[in-house]
């Protein structure tokens, strides 16, 4: 399987197996060659390949909302230790391969949609399959570009520092490393197309719907600094669904306070957990982050619990089961914060605070909550970003991208520091290490350009 994936990624003219043999690996042998629409749906539902628990963990391992003790760091393998201390040669090959394997699957679906029969299914179901494939392809490209490319900015947007865009399942097609702009444009185009094809809401968040596509677009545009579009798409989500959970109703003594598919979840996927970093007793909450939760803020007790040794651990995962993985999908609280930030960036600070208060009144104890007010509008953006950090801590796939984009603004930049025994490691704003190295095997076989060090 590894060689199939690498061959697909690099699209070299090598004797890799073709589509029929690849599809033979499906659990149902009758799916060897897709002939009807149900076969394509089965590819999208195949847990071995399209599983919702194999999304990239490298950015979160490198993020700043937690720390490892020296003993726990030393107990991890060399690959994990390298990512934790921002090694210039940190290995992220599995994240690359898992994302591209799902992109491969979505391209098989998209390539065969018009060639298979409906087989008893409807045109509406065909559209939903196409919309799902486009969404999943975009979601994987989005997370690849967060790991392997600089933050989106006009000064670098036309540089060939994006990721290779594969839009068919042809493993022999030559690819190059696309520009950052081309990569983001493909993500946007796929998400917009998926939103047109998907129903407004679906019964299970394991499959995307239009609300999820809009939420993804809101995040993508926020990270592109296109605040008008970020506002537009966050509003589209909130027109469909705007009911937040009231944390006053959450049992903050529970081991896992949030149920699976809680009502804020728009799209449910989780992080690949092979590193073992995010096991509850190993992954300790950053003390600076913990200090930002004030008395009356229920998130401190809902999200975290104190261990026997006095260290704080994360328990408030929206995946419903904090067993070493993290929620990696889309949820309403993020959309509300995106809307608030977009409004603040557009100079509409009063509206931004009103939106922020809609979230905070559901996060604070009823007897302690007072609507946030600011006298100086210059403070609004920083306040919203602080709340974003508190609300979305340990939310997979977010903090690393936030650090990268905010580092573009000196007044919002963050210096990261890790201390292990007597050794101190630093990652300064806009450091080249914010873009992980493309796997060496990919570079050697394809000749695409490597990230600088």
pLDDT digits (tens, 9 = 90+) for 409-441: 999 999 999 999 999 999 999 999 999 999 999
Q: What pLDDT is attached to residue 440?
A: 95
**Residue 331 is inside which H or E element, if any?**
strand 330-331
Q: What pLDDT is attached to residue 369?
A: 98
Using the predicted structure, report yes or no on whether residue 180 has a pLDDT greater than 70. Answer: yes
Q: What pLDDT is attached to residue 12?
A: 28
Place 52 in a pLDDT band, splitting at 50, 70 and 90. low
Using the predicted structure, report yes or no on whether residue 8 has a pLDDT greater than 70. Answer: no
User: Tens digit of pLDDT for each residue in 194-230?
Assistant: 999 999 999 999 999 999 999 999 999 999 999 999 9
Cβ atoms within 10 Å of 37's Cβ, excluding its own: 22
pTM: 0.93
Using the predicted structure, report yes or no on whether residue 29 has a pLDDT greater than 50. Answer: no
Q: What is the rounded CA–CA span in Å between residue 310 and residue 289? A: 16
Using the predicted structure, report yes or no on whether residue 74 has a pLDDT greater than 50. Answer: yes
The domains of the chain, with CATH numbers, are 1-56+92-198 (1.25.40.390), 64-88+199-420 (1.25.40.390)
Q: What pLDDT is attached to residue 33?
A: 81
Q: What is the rounded CA–CA span in Å between residue 65 and residue 55? A: 19
Q: What is the rounded CA–CA span in Å between residue 297 and residue 418? A: 27
User: Tens digit of pLDDT for each residue in 108-150?
Assistant: 999 999 999 999 999 999 999 999 999 999 999 999 999 999 9
């Amino acid at each position: 399987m590894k060689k199939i994936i690498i061959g697909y990624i690099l699209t070299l003219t090598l004797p890799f197996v073709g589509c029929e043999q690849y599809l033979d690996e499906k659990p149902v042998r009758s799916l060897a060659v897709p002939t009807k629409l149900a076969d394509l749906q089965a590819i999208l539902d195949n847990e071995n390949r399209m599983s919702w628990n194999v999304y990239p963990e490298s950015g979160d391992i490198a993020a700043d909302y937690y720390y490892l003790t020296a003993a726990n760091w030393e107990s991890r393998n060399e690959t994990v230790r390298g990512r934790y201390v921002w090694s210039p040669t940190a290995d992220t090959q599995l994240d690359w391969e898992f994302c591209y394997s799902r992109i491969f699957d979505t391209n098989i679906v998209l390539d065969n949609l018009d060639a298979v029969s409906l087989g008893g299914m409807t045109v509406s179901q065909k559209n939903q399959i196409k919309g799902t494939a486009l969404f999943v392809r975009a979601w994987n490209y989005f997370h690849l570009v967060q790991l392997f490319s600089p933050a989106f900015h006009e000064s670098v947007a036309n540089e060939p520092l994006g990721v290779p865009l594969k839009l068919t399942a042809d493993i022999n097609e030559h690819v190059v490393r696309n520009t950052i702009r081309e990569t983001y444009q493909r993500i946007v185009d796929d998400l917009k197309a998926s939103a047109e094809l998907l129903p407004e809401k679906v019964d299970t968040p394991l499959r995307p719907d239009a609300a999820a596509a809009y939420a993804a677009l809101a995040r993508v545009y926020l990270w592109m600094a296109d605040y008008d579009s970020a506002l537009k798409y966050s509003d589209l989500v909130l027109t469909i669904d705007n009911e937040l959970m009231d944390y006053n109703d959450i049992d903050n003594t529970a081991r896992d306070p949030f149920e699976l598919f809680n009502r804020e979840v728009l799209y449910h996927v989780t992080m690949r957990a092979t590193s073992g970093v995010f096991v509850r007793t190993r992954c300790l909450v950053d003390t600076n982050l913990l200090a930002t939760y004030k008395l009356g803020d229920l998130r401190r007790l809902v999200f975290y619990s104190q261990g026997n040794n006095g260290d704080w651990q994360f328990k408030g995962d929206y995946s419903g089961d904090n067993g070493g993985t993290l929620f990696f999908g889309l949820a309403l609280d993020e959309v509300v914060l995106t809307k608030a930030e977009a409004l603040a960036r557009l100079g509409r600070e009063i509206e931004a605070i009103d939106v922020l208060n809609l979230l905070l009144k559901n996060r604070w104890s009823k007897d302690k909550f007072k609507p946030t007010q600011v006298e100086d509008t210059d403070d609004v953006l920083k306040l919203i970003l602080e709340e974003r950090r508190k609300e979305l801590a340990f939310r997979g796939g977010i903090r690393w991208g936030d650090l990268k984009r905010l580092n573009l603004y000196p007044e919002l930049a963050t210096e990261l520091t890790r201390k292990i025994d007597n050794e101190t490691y630093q990652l300064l704003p806009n450091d080249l290490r914010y873009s992980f190295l493309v796997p060496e095997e990919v570079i050697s076989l394809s000749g695409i350009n490597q990230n600088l060090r």
